[in-house]
Structure 1
Amino acid sequence: MTKKDSIFAEPLPQVSDFVFDHTVVEVFPDMINRSVPGYQSILQGIGQLTKRFAQSDSNLYDLGCSLGAATLAMRQNCQHLSGVQVIGIDNSEAMVERCKLHLQGYRSDVPVSVRCEDIQQSDIKSASVVTMNFTLQFVPPEQRYDLLKKIYDGLKPGGVMLLSEKFRSADEHMNELLVDIHHEFKRANGYSELEIAQKRAAIENVMRIDTLEAHHQRLHEIGFNHTQVWFQCYNFAALLAVK
């Protein structure tokens, strides 16, 4: 049974930077479903897009795989192909350990491996689908172009990148509105004002978000032929980039 996220429910003398440790692992499914609007729809879409774009004799990557929800969605939707393997990568040892246990609970002929490593140091090769599900926002902004360029270079022709991110609006008035609506979403899901404030303080130094315009521009500069937002709810969006 999923444990309820109450990490920030009590006043903390000092709010430390957010880390994906064992404490977060224990409550992560509850945390992300109560914090990210449309998360389950994004996972379903990742599965659907994987089924459409995955190629035989290729690798499918889930970069920043956490507990493997997107890894599993990809794996379940490429079983009609030959010579494919799914590779999940995360730099949190606690996440990787639990991810491996989750994936063992589902039968599939598609081989899957989960690695504990920094995605910026990972090799991306012969890929037809690469997913980054709320991962890029934790990479230092000045290092994002190089990481995405490496992914692009590792994609086969016709390969795709599935990028889900929290974003900020270029219009400051609309940005404040989207942030307020998101906070209302969290309140409706049972988070208190204290939890919202402390979580925001914990994450603001480790999660730097871009505008959607910045995402599109960077992807095009790298060489992707087509980019499109295929899902958006408030200030959360999922993009498709086709090589």
Structure 2
Amino acid sequence: MSSPSPSQSRDSIFAAPLGDIEGFRFNQAVVDVFPDMLRRSVPGYEAIITQSALLASRYVQPGTHLYDLGSSLGATAISMRDALLQIDPASSQGCEIHAIDNAPAMIRASQDLIALHEDQQDTAHPPVPIFLHEANLEEHPLSRASVVAMNFTLQFVNPAARASLMRKIADALQPGGVLILSEKVCFDDPVVNEMHIDMYHAFKSRNGYSDLEISQKRTALENVLVPDTLEQHRARLLDSGFTHCTVWFQCFNFASLVAIKR
């Protein structure tokens, strides 16, 4: 599924010299170009969203909550709901999808997109409802979950708060529940790390970003997006109460893991 979009505007936020570059923020300017930004900046983004939904349909349990944490425009939440329509209705009976984001501009745009998607539904049984919450992930309560998706969200959380957030998610999951965690990652081996960064910049360049855009956005994200290594993610997840963890997708320095609670 393609990420939903309020417009087809091209991302040119960093195309002109900016002088003093502010830290990256999910404001209205970003919302207006976000689908294009994701398509051109995140290798495998659409595959990750689609397969996150497929994982959700595999692990959903009746009467539970599914969470899209850091939901931005609601692509994961909508994709999960679509996937649940393709399975036995009894598997998702009584379920709810909760999409949570702390950026007001993202919540406003996702409200319109989810409503538009609902108007286009033509199904034999009612789709699982999606509820939007403008809230801080560290403060918003989570409960009775079977699936939690965090697609490119944890990297924006204060590193000191990441372990407690993972424990909070693990505690909210039912036995047999899963966390889908997609992140930009780094590598301890400096040669490997440099190779992945170079290939990622080549990916962005191939998608039409100039050297100036790549450089200025990198500066804007410095100290805002703080990546972990895959080993750090695995160790944190296992320490938080998950019993199994595996990487199911990786392209350059972007990866997605699935962690299972038994």
Relative to the length of structure 2, the TM-score reads 0.91
Within the candidate set 98, 118, 123, 2:109 is matched to 98
Residue 20 (str. 1) matches residue 26 (str. 2): yes
Deviation (angstroms), 1:109: 2.4
The residue identity in structure 1 corresponding to 2:94 is G
Distance 1:233 1:191 in 2: 19
2:205 corresponds to: 187
Unaligned runs of 5+ in 1: none
- 1:218 corresponds in structure 2 to 236
Residue pairs, 1:39-188, within 5 angstroms: 39-79=45-85, 80=89, 81-106=92-117, 107=121, 109-188=127-206
Q: What amino acid sits opposite 2:249 in the alignment?
A: F
Q: Match of 2:209, SS?
A: coil
Runs of 4+ in 1 over 2 A off after TM superposition: none
Q: Give how far 1:174 is off.
A: 0.5
CA distance, structure 2, for counterparts of residue 89 and residue 200 of structure 1? 26
Residue 30 of structure 1: aligned partner: 36
Contact 2:68/2:76 (8 A) holds in 1:
yes
User: What's the offset of the Cα at 1:75?
Assistant: 1.2
Aligned residues: 243
Q: How far did residue 205 of structure 1 move?
A: 1.5
Seq. identity, %: 47
- 1:8 equivalent to 2:14? Answer yes
| Deviation per residue, 1:29-85 (Å, 9 max, x gap) | 000110000001101111110110011100000000000111111111223220001
Asked if the contact 1:64/1:133 (under 8 Å) is kept, the reply is: yes
Pairwise CA distance, 1:116? 0.4
- Aligned CA-pair RMSD: 0.8
How far did 1:178 drift? 0.3
SS at match of 2:109: helix
AA partner of residue 84 (structure 1): C
Post-superposition shift, 1:157? 0.5
Alpha carbons 1:90, 1:118 under 8 Å: kept: yes
Check whether the contact 1:78–1:84 (CA below 8 A) recurs between aligned residues: no
The DSSP-based 3-state class of the residue aligned with 2:246 is strand
Instruction: Provide the secondary structure at the position in 2 that maps to 1:17.
Output: coil
TM-score, normalised with respect to structure 1: 0.98
Secondary structure of 2:16 counterpart: coil
1 CA distance for matches of 2:19 and 2:222? 17
Distance (whole Å) between structure 2 residues aligned to residue 44 and residue 179 of structure 1: 25
